[in-house]
Amino acid sequence: MQNTDSRRKTWDEIRDVVVIGSGFAGLAAAIEARTAGVSVAILEKMKTPGGNSVISDGGIAAAGTLMQQKAGIHDSPELMYADMIKAGMGLNHPDLVRELVEKSNEVFQWSIDCLGVKYLDRVDQFGGHSVPRCYTALNISGSTIIKQQLAKVRELGIELRLQTYFQTFIRNVDGRVSGVLARNCYDRKNAESGNDRCIKARKAVILAAGGFGSDVAFRIAQDPRLCEKIDSTNKPSATAEALKEALKIAAVPVQLSHIQLGPWASPDEKGFGVGPGFSDYIVFLYGIVVDPNTGKRFVNELADRKTLSDAILNIGKPCIGIADAKAVKQSGWNIDKCLRKGVVKEFYGLQELASFYGLPYAKLKHSVDQYNRYVENKVDEEFGKQILSNALPINCPPYYGIRLWPKVHHTMGGVQINVRGQVIDLNQQPIQGLYAAGEIAGGIHGACRLGSCAITDCLVFGRIAGRNAAAEKS
Ligand SMILES: Cc1cc2nc3c(=O)[nH]c(=O)nc-3n(C[C@H](O)[C@H](O)[C@H](O)COP(=O)(O)OP(=O)(O)OC[C@H]3O[C@@H](n4cnc5c(N)ncnc54)[C@H](O)[C@@H]3O)c2cc1C
């Protein structure tokens, strides 16, 4: 057995709980463990905390909330469960999904009451959710949540160690994870930088190192189509080294090849950018997406991300999302930034839009007229899109267009965990002393994660892992 205590004469430092990663999941775990009264160190390899969480849109999903009740929306954990399982094509681990949906309202409320996160006064519905149940943090940014988590981390006196790179687990002779080998003063530009530190975790280590969307080699190993030519919305730090260390000590890999592409992304900007806001909040809800060759619709725009991304990839080139002025007004969304960056274009007529994108105008006009009839009759006869109660026909200039081409966004796969957040080994036994939460844990979303469910996942399982790690015997 490698990296065991027996090889180590001394520890450089000792804490009760060591958390790897400072995104939503790691910070939630640390807050919960520290609140339970134990000492906690968070190790973060980058110069700034927050991982992908800090650049996210800050959309969180929860069922049965006060905001839904006020808006007259009937929802329940059962309905959210059914939506997640449907999108996940049944690959989701049912007990984990059950835990997530049942705790979704509680964790959303916790973010407000305990962390002080403020949300926009609206409840949105994204593809694959059968009712509006998504709440967006103020400034439409995950940084709003991360800022509040970091404030709580400071208030509780939790140690947050930046530029500290987790290298490997250290285990007892009986296989229990007893600590980590990390590197202080690490600089990402120099792989060999920093000094080794052995940090003992008296109670447990919590792995919250995020997904591997930017690890091109590792993602190609899982899905060879996802080479460097496919852009990603993730930060460059979203790499697989921590996950690989868990696999080395026999953690079960779950569904690693299920890598989500964001169908709302535009090839006309790098990374996540500003276009997804226009696609998700306006085009998919109130507009249409057409095939650039035929000017025809080809998919239910409110389908889950996998269905939509696969449909666009099948067309083989960027497709065109279209909405009109009424749709923008109806969404309550501000698209100035999208227009300024040139990702969304404005047109005074459909013909002008068609000629800019090289679409056959007559066919496009036919598609729009046909869709408008579906809106009036409240039934999409072609693709079964749910026509929202406030949807209006697309006929009010200016018209807006966006080119859509999917980008790697989320890695659904990761290590297997149980509902207590413990990492499971190849014999289906918990690896003693090791917990995981957030994007590095697999099986929750199955084949496809629904929009806004990752933040719920990170906060629910981060808190569970933190609480259970703190309760371990020293
Ligand atoms: C642009 C974008 C927008 C998104 N918007 C939403 C949204 O609105 N709603 C939603 O539900 N989901 C959204 N997601 C997905 C969601 O943000 C992520 O799934 C979530 O933030 C993952 O959180 P995490 O804590 O698991 O990992 P991260 O937030 O990625 O944190 C992991 C941390 O671990 C650190 N780390 C990694 N390896 C090591 C190591 N070896 N040593 C030390 N530290 C290490 C990383 O540097 C990082 O800081 C979005 C994702 C992106 C990229």
Q: Please report, for residues 146, 157, 212, 362, the alpha-carbon distance to residue 48 in angstroms, rounded to integers and kept in the order given.
A: 12, 18, 18, 52
* High-pLDDT (> 90) share of the chain, %: 97
Amino acid at 166: F
135, 440, 455, 456: which to mutate for ligand 1, most atoms within 8 A of CB? 455
Minimal CA–CA distance to 18: which of 158, 188, 141, 184? Answer: 158
Q: What is the mean pLDDT of residues 447-467?
A: 97
Answer yes or no: is pLDDT of 2 > 60: no
Q: How many CB atoms lie within 10 A of CB 72?
A: 6
Type and span of the H or E element at 121: none
Report how far residue 309's alpha carbon sits from residue 373's, in angstroms, rounded to the nearest whole number.
26
Report how far residue 24's alpha carbon sits from residue 389's, in angstroms, rounded to the nearest whole number.
34
pLDDT of 373-431, one tens digit each? 999 999 999 999 999 999 999 999 999 999 999 999 999 999 999 999 999 999 999 99
pLDDT of 174-206, one tens digit each? 999 999 999 999 999 998 899 999 999 999 999
Answer yes or no: is pLDDT of 7 > 90: no
Answer yes or no: is pLDDT of 357 > 80: yes
For the chain, the average pLDDT equals 96
Report how far residue 351's alpha carbon sits from residue 187's, in angstroms, rounded to the nearest whole number.
53
The helix/strand/coil state of 13 is strand
Q: 222 C-alpha vs ligand 1 centroid, how far in Å? A: 19
Tokens of 315: 């067309």
Check if 20 has its Cβ closer than 6 Å to any atom of ligand 1.
Answer: yes
Reported in sequence order, the residue ranges of 28-73 that DSSP labels E, i.e. its strands, are: 40-43, 59-61
pLDDT at 6: 47
Number of H helices, E strands in the chain: 15, 18
Contact between 302 and 385 under an 8 Å Cβ cutoff? The reply is yes
Answer yes or no: is pLDDT of 27 > 90: yes
**DSSP single-letter state for residue 439:** G
Report how far residue 372's alpha carbon sits from residue 378's, in angstroms, rounded to the nearest whole number.
9
Q: 44 C-alpha vs ligand 1 centroid, how far in Å? A: 12
Q: How many CB atoms lie within 10 A of CB 75?
A: 23
Answer yes or no: is pLDDT of 8 > 90: no
Ordered domains of the chain (ranges, CATH): 5-214+409-470 (3.50.50.60), 269-405 (3.90.700.10)
The protein residue whose alpha carbon is closest to atom 52 in ligand 1 is 56
Amino acid at 462: G
Report how far residue 6's alpha carbon sits from residue 434's, in angstroms, rounded to the nearest whole number.
19
Q: 360 C-alpha vs ligand 1 centroid, how far in Å? A: 41
Q: 51 C-alpha vs ligand 1 centroid, how far in Å? A: 5
Q: What is the mean pLDDT of residues 459-470?
A: 98
pLDDT at 387: 96
Answer yes or no: is pLDDT of 87 > 70: yes
pLDDT at 191: 85
Q: Please report, for residues 79, 288, 289, 313, 377, the alpha-carbon distance to residue 302 in angstroms, rounded to integers and kept in the order given.
A: 17, 10, 10, 17, 17
Lookup result for tokens 């792989």: 191
| Distance between first and last Cα of the chain | 22
Lookup result for tokens 């460059």: 236
β-bridge partners, 60 = 135
Catalytic residues: 305
Report how far residue 267's alpha carbon sits from residue 246's, in angstroms, rounded to the nearest whole number.
34
Report how far residue 382's alpha carbon sits from residue 374's, in angstroms, rounded to the nearest whole number.
9
Report how far residue 60's alpha carbon sits from residue 427's, in angstroms, rounded to the nearest whole number.
34
The helix/strand/coil state of 277 is helix
Check if 165 has its Cβ closer than 6 Å to any atom of ligand 1.
Answer: yes
The protein residue whose alpha carbon is closest to atom 12 in ligand 1 is 454
pLDDT at 9: 53
Q: Please report, for residues 8, 56, 305, 463, the alpha-carbon distance to residue 106 in angstroms, rounded to integers and kept in the order given.
A: 43, 21, 26, 11
Report how far residue 453's alpha carbon sits from residue 439's, in angstroms, rounded to the nearest whole number.
11
- Nearest atom, ligand 1, residue 58 CA: 8
pLDDT at 3: 47
- Nearest atom, ligand 1, residue 234 CA: 53
pLDDT at 1: 38
Contact between 465 and 435 under an 8 Å Cβ cutoff? The reply is yes
